[in-house]
Amino acid sequence: MKKSICVLGLGYMGLPTSLLLSKNFSVVGVDINESHVERVRSGHMPFDEPGLKELYEENKHNFEVSTEVPSSDVYIMSVPTPLDKGMNIAGLKHVKQAAEMIIPHIKDNSLVIIESTISPGTCEELVFPILKRSGKENLKMAHCPERAIPGKTLDEMINNDRIIGGIDSVSTKETIEIYKTFVKGTIYPTNIKTAEYIKLMENTYRDVNIALANEFALIAEEGNINVWEAINLANKHPRVNIHSPGPGVGGHCIAIDPWFLTEGSSNTKLISTSRQINDTMPNHVLLLIKKILKKNTKAGPHVITILGVAYKGNVDDARETPAIKLIRLAENNGYIVKLHDPFVKNFPYSLTSLEDACRDSDCLIIITDHDYYKKLKPQKISSLMRTKNILDTRNIIDLKEWEKHDFYTYLLGDSNPKKNY
Ligand code: SAJ
């Protein structure tokens, strides 16, 4: 008989994982959000992800969804672990709730796998003791952090290497057997706490490197240097790989996970400084907007247009997007803020058509590196604007092309001496 697997949490990672597993196992996907469960049950994918709908159609005979936890051989937790913002520590309430929900249904020999990102020690010190309250024998547990990137989730879940750390060698071995059914990359075994630590190191590494790129951009602006050209040429060195500056770091992982590392230590100067640099990039973007509007515009009130609210290019995901901070800062400074995004549907502020967003605007600000904006034609927008300013925070448009259509162009990380801000 096929092993039964229950995946708790049908979000960006839980749903694709459930569907990949349903090729070989009988899978029940559980979520506490009834309307979300209903949506998936009726065959509607709750977010855009290449190949997801097709995978659902292929495997739906092995896949059920429910708000109730069933009795199962294996449980996989893929629930959110948000940042407890007031304290900058991991918010583990969903993890605890999922563990409590499992207790009445868990069997002797069940295996519980945590995919959610957690601070080192959480599996052994928090979750396993909760599961042991069930009184069941030979419980097993492992941490198998996900490494996939939205927009390429299925491809990366299948092809990336994976780290699996069990609470003991049997747990590690059994978890590897399960993931081997769909992972083509190499699966590396380790212990459970090291697996928790590795996941946080990976995202912290990226955050610190982005902070360095952002700091390079700020220094370049002071020194009449185009940071994008400088980074491109520095990266010709065989051992240098500088990341890209931008308007700030968003998403559910890179902007959050470094704090899960720092909560367990007092030796975290570099990591917290990097977080601070990335978190204050929207403030810097606002300063650039102010300089632009001081120099080249008509009388206020000023209208600014934010192009892109997704946290990164070509996705519909706006979690932790730096656009939110920029919108709030801009409103606090008296600007009328108009917003456009070709993909995002759920957002706390109203989004409008591109034409409406640009009409009577004094400055366009590219925040998200959607391909859609790379292809934007200045002639399409030029006549709508009140004052033709454009600030590119991602270096994705051809500024010269926009200048041909009478735009004043500005680039984050380039003080642009000709325009002298
Ligand atoms: N960003 C920059 N400059 C860069 C790269 C990214 O400003 O050079 C910004 C992006 O615009 C975005 C944010 O950083 O706002 C994060 O984007 P991302 O593409 O770096 O990462 P995520 O959050 O989509 O996915 C990351 C990935 N982790 C790593 O690359 C180490 C992914 O593999 C993880 O699975 C995911 O976090 C996760 O779930 O932890």
SS (H, E, C) 108-150: CCCEEEECCCCCCCHHHHHHHHHHHCCCCCCCEEEECCCCCCC
For residue 267, how far is the Cα from the chain centroid?
Answer: 26
Atom of ligand 1 nearest to the CA of 199: 40
Residue with tokens 């706390």: 348
Give residue 245 CA to ligand 1 midpoint distance, Å.
12
Which positions ≥6 away from 406 have C-beta within 8 Å?
Answer: 382, 388
Residue closest via CA to ligand 1's atom 25 equals 149
Pocket test for ligand 1, best of 253, 314, 393 (most atoms within 8 A of CB): 253
The confidence band for 420, taking pLDDT boundaries of 50, 70 and 90, is low
Atom of ligand 1 nearest to the CA of 156: 33
Residue among 137, 93, 143, 85 at smallest CA distance from 115: 143
Distance between CA atoms of residues 45 and 28, nearest Å:
16
Give the pLDDT score at 416: 72
Give the pLDDT score at 224: 87
Residue closest via CA to ligand 1's atom 29 equals 203
Q: Is the pLDDT of residue 167 over 70?
A: yes
Mean pLDDT of 294-316: 91
Mean pLDDT of 8-24: 97
The model's pLDDT over 231-260, given as tens digits with 9 standing for 90+, comes to: 999 999 999 999 999 999 999 999 999 999
Q: Are 14 and 8 in contact (CB under 8 A)?
A: yes
Atom of ligand 1 nearest to the CA of 210: 3
Mean pLDDT of the chain: 95
Atom of ligand 1 nearest to the CA of 246: 7
Ligand 1 site: residues with CB under 6 angstroms? 117, 146-150, 202-203, 206, 210, 243-244, 246, 249-251, 253-254, 311-312
Atom of ligand 1 nearest to the CA of 160: 33
Give the pLDDT score at 264: 85
Residue 132 is encoded by which pair of tokens? 């042991």
Mean pLDDT of 16-22: 98
**8 secondary structure, DSSP code:** E
Give backbone dihedrals phi and psi of 268, rounded to 5 degrees, phi first.
-130, 40
Atom of ligand 1 nearest to the CA of 12: 39
Contacts 24+ apart (CB under 8 A), 120-124: 120/193, 120/196, 120/197, 120/200, 120/261, 120/264, 121/193, 121/196, 121/264, 122/90, 122/92, 122/95, 122/196, 123/167, 123/192, 123/193, 123/196, 124/167, 124/192, 124/193
The confidence band for 341, taking pLDDT boundaries of 50, 70 and 90, is very high
Give the pLDDT score at 161: 98
SS3 60: helix
For residue 131, how far is the Cα from the chain centroid?
Answer: 30
Residue closest via CA to ligand 1's atom 18 equals 254
The confidence band for 297, taking pLDDT boundaries of 50, 70 and 90, is confident
The confidence band for 418, taking pLDDT boundaries of 50, 70 and 90, is low
Pocket test for ligand 1, best of 227, 279, 312 (most atoms within 8 A of CB): 312
Q: Are 370 and 358 in contact (CB under 8 A)?
A: no
Give the pLDDT score at 48: 87
Q: Is the pLDDT of residue 216 over 90?
A: yes
Give the pLDDT score at 236: 98
Which positions ≥6 away from 383 have C-beta within 8 Å?
Answer: none
Give the pLDDT score at 419: 59
Tell me the percentage of the chain whose pLDDT exceeds 90. Answer: 92
Q: Are 141 and 191 in contact (CB under 8 A)?
A: no
Give the pLDDT score at 25: 96
Residue closest via CA to ligand 1's atom 27 equals 149
Give the pLDDT score at 2: 77
Give the pLDDT score at 150: 87
The confidence band for 421, taking pLDDT boundaries of 50, 70 and 90, is low
Give residue 408 CA to ligand 1 midpoint distance, Å.
31
Residue 66 is encoded by which pair of tokens? 């429910």
More confident residue, 420 or 194: 194
Mean pLDDT of 13-28: 97
Distance between CA atoms of residues 7 and 4, nearest Å:
10
Give the pLDDT score at 266: 86
Give residue 321 CA to ligand 1 midpoint distance, Å.
12
Give residue 43 CA to ligand 1 midpoint distance, Å.
29
SS3 360: coil
Mean pLDDT of 346-354: 97
* Torsional class of 153: left (φ above 0), alpha (ψ -120 to 50), beta (otherwise): alpha
Q: Half-sphere exposure of residue 280, counting CA atoms within 13 Å on the CB side?
A: 9
Residue closest via CA to ligand 1's atom 9 equals 249
Give residue 208 CA to ligand 1 midpoint distance, Å.
12
Give backbone dihedrals phi and psi of 140, rounded to 5 degrees, phi first.
-125, 155
The confidence band for 24, taking pLDDT boundaries of 50, 70 and 90, is very high
Pocket test for ligand 1, best of 116, 203, 341 (most atoms within 8 A of CB): 203
Give the pLDDT score at 409: 95
Q: What share of the chain is helix, strand, coil (3-state, %, to 5)?
A: 40, 15, 45
Give the pLDDT score at 68: 96
Q: pTM above 0.85?
A: yes
**76 secondary structure, DSSP code:** E
Residue among 63, 59, 10 at smallest CA distance from 37: 10
Catalytic machinery residues: 199, 253
Q: Is the pLDDT of residue 135 over 80?
A: yes
Sign of the alpha-carbon torsion through 176, 180, 181, 182: positive
Give residue 254 CA to ligand 1 midpoint distance, Å.
6
Pocket test for ligand 1, best of 200, 206, 261, 373 (most atoms within 8 A of CB): 206
Q: Residue type at 324?
A: I
Which positions ≥6 away from 2 have C-beta within 8 Å?
Answer: 24, 25, 26, 62
Mean pLDDT of 194-200: 98
Q: Are 116 and 79 in contact (CB under 8 A)?
A: yes
Q: Are 258 and 274 in contact (CB under 8 A)?
A: yes
Q: Is the pLDDT of residue 299 over 90?
A: no
Query: What angle in degrees, to the nearest 10, is found between the helix axes of 52-59 and 14-21?
Result: 40
Using only C-alpha atoms, the chain has a radius of gyration, in whole angstroms, of 24
Residue closest via CA to ligand 1's atom 33 equals 147
Q: Is the pLDDT of residue 296 over 80?
A: no
Q: Is the pLDDT of residue 319 over 60?
A: yes
Distance between CA atoms of residues 36 and 301, nearest Å:
42
